[in-house]
Structure 1
Amino acid sequence: MKPIPFNKPFLAGQELHYIQQAVAQGKLSGNGEFTQLCQRFFQQRYGIPKALLTTSATTALEMAALLLDLHPGDEVIMPSFTFTSTANAFVLRGARIVFADSYLDNPNLDISQLASLITPRTKAIVPVHYAGVACNMAPLLALAEEHGIWVIEDAAQAIEGYYLEKPLGAIGHLAAFSFHETKNVIAGEGGLLAINDERFAERAEILWEKGTNRAAFFRGEAARYQWIDIGSSFLPSELTAAYLWAQLEQITAIREQRLQQWNRYATALQSLAEAGHCALPAIPVYATHNGHIFYLICRDTNERQALIQHLAEHQILAVFHYQTLHNSPFYHNLHDGRQLPHARRFAECLLRLPLYFELSETDQQRVIAAVNSFYKA
């Protein structure tokens, strides 16, 4: 019996050809032809005014935090059930993180809590579109506008996800995407900063180019190439961009394949949810998701661990996901003491099933059969 991994990196088309082409062109450092192709893709397909390819979603978020000019004592609101990068980007600028709970049936940030968390020190809200499922953006944006707060979308998992008819990552003032090998569209590592508020556009490019006006200089828009502002080395190499471009060319096929796999899980496991054995992902009416993650919510931590062990005995790797950040070793002493029970429940009970582009229907049926046999036993 061959093992079924949780995730598997894949070739969608011309990745190796484009990497070879980048080498032949003699341009491997950042901001070459393939970087420009990827950036234009996001600008044209999703209506993002300016897109900058980065080494990861982590560095895209770090750029966003730099653009906000945060100072010690400023506050940033975000869900506790998220990856450390969401918080680290703002902690690095001295901000205090104010964690919000998830919904009862959805790991995303509970919008109804936001008003009570806003203070005069609140500078930003960071909604995370978990599993490519949209946060409820309209009330969030209305609240942010009322209080003069920036909105930074953590769209790391959300490429090809939508809020109503609006692409995720094109809604907040800024947004970050990821192309890590576990995402729908991959480049090994890699990310992108979406600049949806043009007030940030010029400075973002300077930060991106190590604090210089290099990009403007090479476009003939500046007489000298100079140090203008703070910045860092946020650009990925052309090898990363070349791999990514081949994936973006196949994005429709990738999305359709993953949605077919996601729907196969949902249909086959619905009877378990109806019988009360576990819960399946809840997709709000305003969200069109991208098939990024299919998860089960077990009844408690012990059941989840038993299911993980059961699947491992069938040579299937399933994994849990985030631990709550408000209760983490690093931040629990800085948290304000509020209990966030829904975030804790997802941390303790959520289990992710294998889902990747090359997962065959036969292997997926093996996973489904193993999950069913666990609960029937």
Structure 2
Amino acid sequence: MKVPFNKIYLTGNEINLIEKAFNMESVSGDGYFTSKVTSLIEEKFSISKAFMTTSATHALDMAMMLIDLGPKDEVIMPSFTFPSTANSVILQGAKPVFADILPTTLNIDPDDIERKITKNTKAIVPVHYGGIGCEMDRIIDISKKYNLYIIEDAAQGVNAKYKDKFLGAWGHLACYSFHGTKNYISGEGGALLINSKDKKLIERAEIIRQKGTNRSKFLKGKVDKYSWVDKGSSYTPSDILMAVLYGQLKHLDIINKKREIIVNHYIKGLNKHLESEVLKGMTSLEDDRDSNYHLFYILLDNQTIRNKVIFKLKKCGIHAQTHFEPLHSSLKGQTLGYSLGDFKITEKVAKTLLRLPLYTDMTIEEANYVINNLDKILKEI
């Protein structure tokens, strides 16, 4: 048997929806399906205003522009994240400031956030790792105490909750990802979420998203022609991609349930290795959080063992993967003054974490094949 790390999941209606987009001649940005998806996201996740974007990366770029980030400003984020989180800050001439993570959820440590705050701090970017929410109530308390923006990186957090709220609905701004590796896909795509009633903020987001022009006002009949009024770029996704996404989002709960079954099966099958301390940790489902089951990870004792497990699983036809390289110890991170040894938990996790195969249509038979082979490998090592 071969078990890939990931497979895309199609609901069965995507081709029909793509054909409908072509038949309606709705293929460029802000068409029929963009409107449908936007409304669905706002209503389902209780978002004040959503803007569909070409990627979550671009949504983060827009968010940093919206808060007028500039030179001397600092933004606190985990080192254990994708480079897009930090790039969005650097592109505005500002400085990313890294913080360590909690060993339980692999999310940013609120205590370390507070330790990193200076007079130049302007925002906090909590990254919800693997669809498990950060401690948002504590982070919000910190943001209020120091008058800071919260920009949620919920790229992996679509349809997950922290306490009573969906991820993406907590911060002043947030982003979602619909990349082909995520639970709900458009191939490439994302969303900028604004949880504010500030009409000026929403109006400026429309301008930034439309190449710095007031084209949205023109399309609404508010001006007789549109012109360049602010900085911006082309962040509107094709309506063809939004047609695909609409088909996916209409199956939100079905997709979530399928993934939940596999994650729970992994937990049940591998828990004995956690109890015997052969595994040092694995994905846990916290009582005050509703996961979207984006990924499933295990933590091994050290990097050598982790790499042996990868090799042995591959020989069985099972493709498991590591994850983020800590940003602080990367080549770019070192140019910002960081070095190996700065964040002990982040570094340990990065060296020992292994993601097991997980995809929406994964079968119990496939999950058992992974569990049984992992059992044998862990007994050998």
Per the normalisation by structure 1, the TM-score is: 0.98
Whole-angstrom CA distance in 1 between matches of 2:222 and 2:348: 53
Q: State the AA in 1 paired with 2:376.
A: S
| Aligned twin of 1:366 | 369
| Aligned twin of 1:231 | 232
Whole-angstrom CA distance in 1 between matches of 2:217 and 2:106: 41
Q: What secondary structure is seen at the aligned counterpart in 2 of 1:331? A: helix
Q: Report Cα offsets for 1:275-306 as digits up to 9, x if no partner.
A: 11112123443321111110000110011101
The answer on 1:186 being equivalent to 2:185 is: yes
- Unaligned segments of structure 2, at least 5 residues: none
Q: What secondary structure is seen at the aligned counterpart in 2 of 1:52? A: strand
| Aligned twin of 1:295 | 297
Whole-angstrom CA distance in 2 between matches of 1:36 and 1:194: 14
CA contact (8 A) 2:177 2:191 kept: yes
| Aligned twin of 2:318 | 316
The answer on 1:349 being equivalent to 2:352 is: yes
Please say which of residues 214-223 and 310-319 is displaced more in the overlay. 214-223
Whole-angstrom CA distance in 2 between matches of 1:99 and 1:353: 27
Per the normalisation by structure 2, the TM-score is: 0.96
Q: What secondary structure is seen at the aligned counterpart in 2 of 1:172? A: coil
| Aligned twin of 2:75 | 76
CA contact (8 A) 1:136 1:286 kept: no
Please say which of residues 238-247 and 97-106 is displaced more in the overlay. 97-106
Q: Report Cα offsets for 1:141-186 as digits up to 9, x if no partner.
A: 1111111110000000001111101000011000010011111101
Query: Runs of 4+ in structure 1 displaced over 6 angstroms?
Result: none
**TM-aligned CA deviation for residue 336 of structure 1:** 4.9
Whole-angstrom CA distance in 2 between matches of 1:268 and 1:8: 22
Q: Report Cα offsets for 1:101-135 as digits up to 9, x if no partner.
A: 01122210001112211111001100000001000
Please say which of residues 236-245 and 277-286 is displaced more in the overlay. 277-286
**TM-aligned CA deviation for residue 52 of structure 1:** 0.5
Counterparts of residues 316-335 of structure 1 (less than 5 Å): 316-335=318-337
Q: State the AA in 1 paired with 2:293.
A: G
Residue identity (%): 40
| Aligned twin of 2:247 | 246
CA contact (8 A) 1:134 1:286 kept: no
Q: What secondary structure is seen at the aligned counterpart in 1 of 2:174? A: strand
Q: What secondary structure is seen at the aligned counterpart in 2 of 1:90? A: helix
Whole-angstrom CA distance in 2 between matches of 1:45 and 1:236: 21
Whole-angstrom CA distance in 1 between matches of 2:192 and 2:154: 10
| Aligned twin of 1:218 | 219
CA contact (8 A) 1:61 1:175 kept: yes
Whole-angstrom CA distance in 1 between matches of 2:153 and 2:197: 19
- Unaligned segments of structure 1, at least 5 residues: none
CA contact (8 A) 1:13 1:247 kept: no
Q: What secondary structure is seen at the aligned counterpart in 1 of 2:42? A: helix
CA contact (8 A) 1:13 1:250 kept: no
| Aligned twin of 2:136 | 137
Q: State the AA in 1 paired with 2:188.
A: E
Q: State the AA in 1 paired with 2:46.
A: G
| Aligned twin of 1:163 | 162
Q: How many residues align?
A: 376
Q: What secondary structure is seen at the aligned counterpart in 2 of 1:215? A: helix
Q: What secondary structure is seen at the aligned counterpart in 1 of 2:327? A: coil
